[in-house]
Amino acid sequence: MVRPIVRVHRSVYRITGDDRGERAIPEESAVAFTFNTASYAVMMATPQDLEDFAIGFSLTEGVTSSSDAIESVEIVEEDVGIELRIWLKAPHAAEFLGRRRKMAGPTGCGLCGIESLVEAMRPPPTVDKGLVFTPDQIMTAVNSLFPRQALNHETRAVHAAGFWHPVRGLVAVREDVGRHNALDKLAGALVRENATAQQGIIVLTSRVSVEMVQKSAAIRGPIIVAVSAPTALAVRMADAAGMTLVAIARKDGFEVFTHPHRVKGSLTSHVA
């Protein structure tokens, strides 16, 4: 399997002086998704946790609504990239291939024409009620993610998505050069660990775009917490989905943009 981290030689020029040495950088591979031999999409991604990626992508992109529809996943290394061959069970495969035939354009290009606009703006599913969290719990969730970012500690170049549970703590963390990919991998990891997103917090190290809201809603996550700001469309989508969107989570606190009823109390000064 392709290594997720590569060490390269580089020259350093700084005010304090010049130097030479090695730097760890993340690998980036073309990852193709096929469903029962039908091409679906190609993503540039970090080549690790690929089975999580296959399962999570299938769910968050709406290829299937349940992991039970997936028969198996094959990871095939090619000279130019990696193919994730996802095999759907018979009735689900027939439904998917039927939808696929109705899509405009060649199968390898993703969604094309007017259907791509409709898909991009698809309304997210409404999330469940979920739990109520204190500001201290939200800060604990954010602070627990950074020590677990193994790839980023070496490369300083990847995003992370984690899931924090009020009893179990940080249940899973996945990293990738793509923020969407990290969230897809997290979704797959939760499925494989028999965990659900309804009773905890999805924590992101990236900004919150509309796709991040759509993907989180697809796995029924009621609350997202991100270190960066959201887009205006992401706020509207989160509001429509009934999702609590928390962003700009820094050492001194955070901001709540939608459905604040899931956050109760005040932030105490002792939270690190």
Predicted local distance difference test score (pLDDT) of residue 121: 77
Choice among 201-205, 211-215, 237-241, 268-272 with the minimum mean pLDDT: 268-272
User: Are both 69 and 165 inside the same structural domain?
Assistant: no
The CA-based dihedral angle spanning residues 249, 238, 151, 272, taken in that order and rounded to the nearest 10 degrees: 20
User: Is the per-residue pLDDT at 272 higher than 60?
Assistant: no
The three state secondary structure string of the chain is CCCCEEEEEEEEEECCEEEEEEEEEECCEEEEEEECCEEEEEEEECCCCHHHHHHHHHHHCCCCCCHHHEEEEEEEECCCCEEEEEEECHHHHHHHHHHHHHCCCCHHHCCCHHHHHHHHCCCCCCCCCCCCECHHHHHHHHHHHHHHCHHHHHHCCCEEEEEEECCCEEEEEEEECCHHHHHHHHHHHHHHCCCCCCCCEEEECCCECHHHHHHHHHCCCCEEEECCCECHHHHHHHHHHCCEEEEEEECCEEEEEECHHHECCCCCCCCC
Does residue 22 sit within a domain? no
- Beta strand 223-226 with 244-250 is parallel
User: Are both 217 and 148 inside the same structural domain?
Assistant: yes
What is each CA distance from 164 to 100, 142, 176, 208, in whole angstroms?
Answer: 36, 9, 18, 18
Predicted local distance difference test score (pLDDT) of residue 123: 82
Does residue 128 sit within a domain? no
Average pLDDT over residues 250-270: 93
Does residue 58 sit within a domain? yes
Q: How far apart are CA 112 and CA 83, in angstroms?
A: 22
User: Are both 111 and 210 inside the same structural domain?
Assistant: no
Does residue 13 sit within a domain? no
User: Are both 108 and 142 inside the same structural domain?
Assistant: no
Residue 78's pLDDT band (boundaries 50, 70, 90)?
A: very high
pLDDT tens figures, 85-123: 999 999 999 999 887 765 544 433 444 334 557 767 778
Q: Nearest-CA neighbor of 64 among 103, 106, 98, 93? A: 93
Domain count, the chain: 2
> What domain range is 179 assigned to?
135-262
Does residue 11 sit within a domain? no
Average pLDDT score over the chain: 92
* Residue 91 token pair: 């009735």
Question: At residue 119, what are phi and psi to the nearest 5 degrees?
Answer: -65, -40
Does residue 268 sit within a domain? no
pLDDT tens figures, 10-49: 999 999 999 999 999 999 999 999 999 999 999 999 999 9
User: Is the per-residue pLDDT at 204 higher than 70?
Assistant: yes
Which residue do the tokens 């009934």 mark?
242
User: Are both 60 and 91 inside the same structural domain?
Assistant: yes
CATH code: domain of residue 56: 3.10.20.10
User: Are both 38 and 114 inside the same structural domain?
Assistant: yes
Q: Whole-structure pTM over 0.75, yes or no? A: yes
User: Are both 212 and 96 inside the same structural domain?
Assistant: no
Indicate the residue among 120, 147, 171 that finishes a domain: 120
CB-CB neighbours of 27 under 10 Å: 16
Tell me the Cα Rg of the chain.
20
User: Are both 147 and 233 inside the same structural domain?
Assistant: yes
Does residue 3 sit within a domain? no
User: Are both 165 and 258 inside the same structural domain?
Assistant: yes
* Residue 32 token pair: 């193709």
For residue 78, count CB atoms less than 10 angstroms from its CB and return exposed for 0-12, middle for 13-18, buried for 19 or more. Answer: exposed
Indicate the residue among 95, 120, 145 that finishes a domain: 120
CATH code: domain of residue 216: 3.40.140.10
Residues designated catalytic? 109
Average pLDDT over residues 171-196: 97
User: Are both 113 and 139 inside the same structural domain?
Assistant: no
Indicate the residue among 86, 120, 154 that finishes a domain: 120
Predicted local distance difference test score (pLDDT) of residue 57: 97
User: Are both 221 and 150 inside the same structural domain?
Assistant: yes
Which residue do the tokens 């005040």 mark?
266
What is each CA distance from 271 to 70, 245, 255, in whole angstroms?
Answer: 42, 21, 16
User: Is the per-residue pLDDT at 258 higher than 50?
Assistant: yes
Does residue 191 sit within a domain? yes
User: Are both 89 and 149 inside the same structural domain?
Assistant: no
